[in-house]
Amino acid sequence: MSQPPTANGKPETANRLDELVSERTTWAGSVRSTAASMRAWIFLFFLLVGFEIWAQLAYHTTFLFNPFNASSIAVFTVGPLLLALGQTFVVISGGIDLSVGFTMGLAAVVFSRILNLSTGVLPDPLALVVALVVALLASAVPGLINGLLIAILRVPPFIGTLGMYGVARGIAYLMAGGTTVPISNPVVSFIGNQPLTLLSIGDFHGSIPIIVLITILLTVAMMFMLSQSRFGRHVYAIGGNRQASLRAGINVSRNTIALYILSALSAGIGGILYTARFTAGAPQAGETLLLDSIAAVVIGGASLFGGSGTITGTVIGALIIAVIQYGLVFVNVEPFWQFVAVGVVIIISVLVDQTQKQLSGARTDE
């Protein structure tokens, strides 16, 4: 039987107990959410310090305080980050997109092909616009199919996008004729390889590679979309509790399709920037980047079970991967060790995340 109610209509012990419960769980909850984002920052910090010490001891040179290194790391980050931006949305929704690497390749090849067809016929900048639009449309197709498979036919994301990985790969190679497609549009190669001087004071020139600038702008846009828009909020809700989202009247199917298209478009932009940087479109442009994109998202604190993750985390995750890759080159380690290092880092971050959940995520009513 319930106790006699107090002045506010509630049993007294329930009130007191509730406060106790709430304080204990509050502490655990905040520790967990802060820890996920702090972990990535701390890891990046130690990574930079580690490479600095390595460079100092082995080669008596600096790794950190070298503008060329900073700029190179930024350029190294572009590829993994662009794939990881869309991947972040997908992972937060509780899915995964394995097709991004070859969607990137497909976009790169389509972009090069269309650019070569239109350059000469149209003025250079206009040719770029045409190629850009067609390549983005082409890259949206695998995303749309992924979305339809997963949202309407209820194919598990892992399987649906793995199938699309094969399809996009094959079509990209077919369209490229099995080789790379060089381009010769001066506007595109300028965008791909020139820095933009933002600030000039005397001898100091603050400049930034154009592709890095484009990536920063896209990152800010995606950050806004995820954290400030209804769509972003619904992505979190779907990843947290799909059933609850349905009952709350959220159009889960439409949102799911939209986020796989977003992932494909973000990979497509990656393919276009790749083509601009190397002045050639290659079907295998994103082959090694699938692992990197998932790594960036996971290292950035997103849970592969869905419901959590941030763009900021993903940016740090992508930076960590770029620092590992560039740093190992800088200290003269055989390049194949990069794959080993990134793979190990993924596994470690998932393990740390699981351990932390077990330590602090337990609810008191269970």
The dihedral built from the CA positions of residue 236, 241, 245 and 246, taken in this order, carries a sign that is positive
Could you say whether residue 347 binds another protein (CB under 8 A)? no
**Residue 234 lies near another protein (rule: CB under 8 A):** yes
Q: Is-contact 325 81, C-beta < 8 A?
A: no
Return the residue of 56, 197, 229, 355 that touches another protein, per CB under 8 A.
229
Rule CB under 8 A: is residue 58 a binding residue for another protein?
no
How many CB atoms are closer than 10 A to CB 278?
A: 17
Choices 20-28, 67-75, 157-165, 267-275 (CB under 8 A): range interacting with another protein: 20-28
Instruction: Give the nearer residue to another protein in terms of CB position, either 1 or 57.
Output: 1
Q: Under the criterion CB under 8 A, does residue 275 sit at the interface with another protein?
A: no
- The single-letter code of the amino acid at 95 is G
Among positive and negative, which fits the CA dihedral 355, 357, 358, 359?
Answer: positive
The CB-of-28 to another protein minimum distance in angstroms stands at: 6
**Minimum distance, C-beta of residue 214 to another protein, in the bound complex (Å):** 20
DSSP string, 241-256: -HHHHHHTT--HHHHH
74 and 210 in contact (C-beta within 8 Å)? no
Cα-based distances in Å from 157 to 10, 95, 268: 47, 6, 19
Q: How many residues bind another protein (CB under 8 A)?
A: 49
Q: What DSSP state is assigned to residue 287?
A: T
Residue 21 C-alpha from the chain's centroid:
37
Closer of 242 and 329 to another protein (Cβ): 242
Residues of span 296-315 touching another protein by CB under 8 A: 307-308
**What 3-state class would DSSP assign to 136?**
helix
| 188/192 Cα distance (integer angstroms) | 6
Residue 224 or 339: the one with the smaller Cβ distance to another protein is 224
Asked if 224 interacts with another protein (CB under 8 A), we say: yes
Nearer to another protein, 92 or 176 (CB): 92
Q: How far is the CB of 162 from another protein (least distance, A)?
A: 26
Q: Binding residues for another protein, per CB under 8 A?
A: 1-3, 5, 8-11, 13-15, 17-19, 21-23, 25-26, 28-30, 32-33, 224, 227-230, 233-234, 236-237, 239-241, 243-245, 247-250, 307-308, 361, 363-365
